[in-house]
Amino acid sequence: MTKMSGSPFMDGSELPLRGIRVLELSHMIMGPAAGLALADLGAEVIKLEPMEGDRTRRLKGSGSGYFPVFNRNKQSLAVDLKSAEGCELARRLALRADMVVENFRDGGLAQYGLDYESLSAANPGLIYVSLKGFLSGPYKHRTALDEVVQMMGGLAYINGGADAPQRVAASVNDILGGTFGVVGALAALHDRHASGRGRHVRAGLFENNLLLVAQFIAQYQLTGDAPKPMGAERRPPWGVYDVFDTADGRVFVAVVGDAQWRNFAQRFLPPEWAADPRLATAVDREAARSWLVPGVAEILKSWKTADLCAALEAANLSYGPIRQPHELLDDEHLKAGGALLKTRLPEGGEISAAALPIEFDGRKAGKRSDPPARGAHTRDILLRMGLDAQRIDALREAGVIA
């Protein structure tokens, strides 16, 4: 029976991946995003960091949010992999793990005996998740970044203007690519229950980007027309599907079906519009956009944003006020539903980070621990591995661990 409580979050005993141990050998976003999902879902995720710490800890500007957003609910172990003793500690951890998550360049971990072939020979049940720039093919050994694959994969072109490609600001391929790595890992975990064997799961940024632009590729194949960049000539398939100015802001309004159109026209437009045969069907309204959209814009610009949103809500129509990301901190829905997690940073200060966008029986997987300081759990982890306190102190003195 599902345990019910007044909290919007599950407790640790209810999390579906409780009892699963993960060693995360990753940096930047793609790997940590995968580790975050596994950790939030209850897995014990040990983040192995270099002695100086994950470099995202030191990023500034637009990179300053990387570490605090993607590293909660994890333990930090700082080890020098260039030392034989540090390398052996990492191998021992990997051989005790259910999963390893890594986003090093292909072959980069073989020198430490932390590649799939080496580890699976000793731990056949290991699920090894490799998060890469490219999957199988001529590009397999290239390095890549989110922005690189957005550029070569058509996403920046379709998102841009007539004169220049423009990357999607969010790290969509890193985050979604990490998520697909987790999908593969969970599928492999399910299969292991029957087979007893682990698998090597790979997810790629470029192939992830392909999925994001697949609808535009299909459009070209079906119509013969190459989609134009959205910043150059946005041509949605519906008549009213646009951002409209209001008296004090802007609102996106979407009217996508005939019933919705009748509802919208009756509530917001002059009576003759609802009966106009030129607007009878979605195809008609799309063809009439050149005069329909300016006409609707002229009518809606006198509304105040709050009033228009309330009226659209009452009419059961799709809409969204235009906001900046930081304005979501005050969103009543996100606050009430537990989607914003108060998170304390290792160096001090506090942010609100996004919860995993999943609910189980109406509750989310929340925050059990804040992002750790570098090496915060090194001693505890090594004690659980069977090392005694003197040995741990000697390793720290020798610069093998931090």
Phi and psi of 18, rounded to 5°? -60, 140
| Interstrand relation of 350-354 and 21-25 (parallel, antiparallel or unpaired) | unpaired
Residue 371 per-residue DSSP state: P
102 burial via Cβ count (<10 Å: 0-12, 13-18, 19+): buried
Could you write out the DSSP letters of every residue in 128-143?
EEEEES--SSTTTT--
Strand partners, 22: 45, 99
Q: How many CB atoms lie within 10 A of CB 288?
A: 15
C-beta of residue 348 within 8 angstroms of C-beta of residue 376: no
Please report where in the chains the tokens 């009543």 appear, as a residue. 332
Q: What is the token pair recorded at 315?
A: 């009419």
Distance CA 146, CA 206 (A): 8
Cβ proximity of 166 and 231 under 8 Å: yes
How many C-alpha atoms does 203 have within 13 Å on its Cβ side? Answer: 26
d(CA 136, CA 206): 11
Active site annotation includes 393: no
Q: How far apart are CA 173 and CA 28, in angstroms?
A: 13
Q: Which residue in 40, 80, 98, 174 is the catalytic one?
A: 174
Active site residues: 174
